[in-house]
Amino acid sequence: MGIIRSNTVIFGEKLSSAKCFLCGAGFKDVAILWDGLPEALWLHPGCVTDLAVRMFRDVHEVNNPGYYKNRDRRAVRGNSLTDELLGNG
């Protein structure tokens, strides 16, 4: 893992031609690079945070089955489309 600046070439690729793994946008000044196999993951600093939060939620959900299912139902109660999809209406 490393911080890549705009004029650096990594794995034969310039930062300006790389795309973010999470959002798909290009880079201007800086990127975070994770050397994954079979290819490297390029991410904006903010996308690293977004991905980490999503991954932590996934791990929490694995360790606490049903937590988000019940929470999401409470949060959207009263929405007729959601109620229909959940079999509540």
H and E: helices and strands count for the chain: 3, 5
Tell me which amino acid residue 17 is: S
Give residue-wise pLDDT tens across range 30-81.
Answer: 888 887 667 788 899 999 999 999 999 889 888 988 777 766 555 555 555 4
pTM of the model: 0.61
At position 82, the amino acid (one-letter code) is: T
Which helix (H) or strand (E) segment holds residue 71: the answer is: helix 67-76
The C-alpha atoms of residue 46 and residue 35 are separated, in whole angstroms, by: 18
Give the domain ranges of the chain: 2-45, 46-86
CA 70 distance to own-chain centroid: 23
